[in-house]
Structure 1
Amino acid sequence: MSRSIYVVNPNSNKAVTAGIDEAVERLRIDGGPAIEALTLEDGPPGIQSQRDADGVVAPLLRLASTLEDEAAAFVIACFSDPGLHALREQSARPVLGIAECGVLTALTMGQRFGVIAILPNSIPRHLRAFGAMGVSGRLAGELAVGLTIAELADDRNTLLRLVQVGRRLRDDYHADTIVMGCAGMARFRRRLEDAVGLPVIEPTQAAVGMAMARVLLGSG
């Protein structure tokens, strides 16, 4: 039976899911598993606080349980990696979180990584995760663009803010690579990379790429 990599957007914003779907298009290959981007209908409009992140875990686990038999792997497409370890306990499939995969990819591309968050209150949540991963010593810094998930829909203003923050991470914090700290930023990766002249990691692409390798190599 052919199985799919399910890329689950834990917020209910379908525009974010559409951006994720577009971002992973180049990873769809002949002979590989299907890649399906899904929206968690029970999620909030955006995951912008620890409460939001905690609140999506139970519905995320319920959704994944209904997909288990058809799944080749799961990717949790939120930079807070909500429910990552709980889903790993629940599922027999590979489970990848975009924050973890984005950071690990950045570490292969430079000594010090910078992160662009959407809002300042996201940063403490991310720093706790980096501490748990043991990578805080390689973090150059994390800065926020100061935009909500809904405000990311304004392409011109969002790109302007991303470039401003990316250049600060490069010039003031001496980052060698930049990780986009929200799945809603996916469509800006190439333009941001061109503007700042550093490798920019879009974490959903990083996570789906890792999931593809796990599935194709049979590494469960």
Structure 2
Amino acid sequence: MPDIKSLFVTRLYRAALSEHGPAIDADELEASCYSIAEDDEAGQEWCEENGYPGYTSYASLTDLPWRFPIFADLVKSLDAHVAAFSEDLEFDLDGKALVLEDLWINILPEGGTHSSHIHPHSVISGTTYVAMPDGASSLKLEDPRSSRMMAAPSRRKDAREEMRPFIYAAPKVGDVLLWESWLRHEVPMNMSEDDRISVSFNYKWE
């Protein structure tokens, strides 16, 4: 029998936000996201100028944990999840820590998408999900080797999950997903009439 094994594994962490840290009230977090979006004129202008559908605070606000206590509680929970994922990844942090670099809100309306991208200069990135109405898009993750497989045939539709070129992770409200920041990902079109709301973040090593 041949010896066939998987090498160079790409890990995806998924857990309920509530597994670590303070309790987060989903309704309060959603209301806080909308309140910030309504008041953030700089963020609204950036979205309009850059053709971003809906709203993101990515380019305008860097102090969400200071503005609303619920975001400070959220960071405490995320810190614990990232520490658990870092342990699974078997990182040698050399006495340093993975610390929050940035945290931002995403409100994606019907028809909105977020094109394929990575998060350079960070170690771990992720998202926690605030509102996921029926029809809201999954997170689409791309095999990092795809650009090197130009001559390879396509995979069978029933291929094992770890062999597929794209994975669609369908999160629920209150889930947190984490991945290494080099992993390319995107949000396909939101087919729901309601907003898809999430809070994304990056952690760096220092």
Q: TM-score, normalised by structure 1?
A: 0.26
Q: Which has the higher helix share?
A: 1
Name the structure, 1 or 2, with higher relative contact order (CA <8 Å, separation 6+).
2
Q: Which has the higher strand share?
A: 2
CA radius of gyration, larger in: 2
Q: TM-score, normalised by structure 2?
A: 0.27
